[in-house]
């Protein structure tokens, strides 16, 4: 299973990425060993998660999510489509 995720950074910005191990990736980000963008914006937390069958689909979705505005990302996070909703609320 491949995951597309959105993190909320300490400064209120969002980071979008994909992985096949979401727990390990979140730990990597919070240990300041993840993406350069998140290293100076710690801590981060998962606010959105989608599951995909293959890497190609996940990468295409990641690319599409990165095109969204901050407001559009917020609306997506608040939507019922968010499969991480019950995990973090």
Which pLDDT does position 43 carry in this prediction? 96
Which pLDDT does position 55 carry in this prediction? 95
State the total domains in the chain. 1
DSSP 8: E
- Domain at 30, CATH number: 3.40.1440.10
Determine the structural domain holding residue 23 and report its residue range.
2-88
In terms of DSSP bridges, do strands 45-52 and 14-19 run parallel, antiparallel, or are they unpaired? unpaired
pLDDT tens-place values along the chain, 89 residues long: 899 999 999 999 999 999 999 999 999 999 999 999 999 999 999 999 998 989 999 999 999 999 999 999 999 988 866 655 444 43
Q: Based on the number of CB atoms within 10 Å of its own CB, is 65 exposed (0-12), middle (13-18) or buried (19 or more)?
A: buried
């Amino acid at each position: 299973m491949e995951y597309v995720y959105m993190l909320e950074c300490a400064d209120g910005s969002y980071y979008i990425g994909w992985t096949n191990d979401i727990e390990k990736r979140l730990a990597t980000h919070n240990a300041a060993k993840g993406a350069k963008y998140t290293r100076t914006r710690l801590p981060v937390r998962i606010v959105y998660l989608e599951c995909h069958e293959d890497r190609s689909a996940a990468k295409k979705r990641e690319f599409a999510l990165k095109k969204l505005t901050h407001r559009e990302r917020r609306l997506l996070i608040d939507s019922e489509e968010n499969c991480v909703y019950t995990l973090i609320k």
